[in-house]
Amino acid sequence: MTPDVAHASIVYWRRSLWNGMRCVPVLMTLDQGWLRARDRVGAEVFAVPAGQVGGRLTRLGTLVLTVGGRRYAMVGRGASVSPDPSADQKRGFADFWAHRTPPAGDGPGFLDQVFNGAAAFNTRAWRDALARAGVPMR
């Protein structure tokens, strides 16, 4: 495990494959060796040492995490009917990066940005951060 890897973003937890209203924003953070996710009201979805997480990135850009035997499908942006991130989630995201340097590197590709709201870039960035932290990624 590499505890100095830090990353955060708002991703969408796809709780239903068919119902876009159930694709909800979560603030996901990786800091000091812990992976955490909080929902719109601030409730913890999960908080575990990164070493207890497994994951993979699908061809369609879904980050599938296995935490405590439960699978979580995370996508880079919600559906058109998905709820927006809460003010607390946005504030938590800003606070996370307030005293850290965001990762450098290539940004989203033009087509990903224009047609997909950089969703693929968001989940790829998570895959890379988790791999740097020692999370086994398939």
Q: Is 137 inside a domain boundary?
A: yes
Question: What would the two tokens of residue 131 be?
Answer: 């791999």
Q: What is the pLDDT of residues 71-105, one digit of tens each?
A: 999 998 888 899 999 999 999 999 999 988 766 55
Q: Is the pLDDT of residue 11 over 80?
A: yes
Q: What is the pLDDT of residues 42-78, one digit of tens each?
A: 999 999 999 999 999 998 889 999 999 999 999 988 8
Q: Is 90 inside a domain boundary?
A: no
Q: Is 121 inside a domain boundary?
A: yes
Residues in CB range of 53: below 8 A, 6 or more apart: 35, 65, 66, 67, 130, 135
Choose between 4 and 46: higher pLDDT: 46
CATH number, domain with residue 7: 2.30.29.30
What range does the domain containing 72 cover? 1-78+109-138
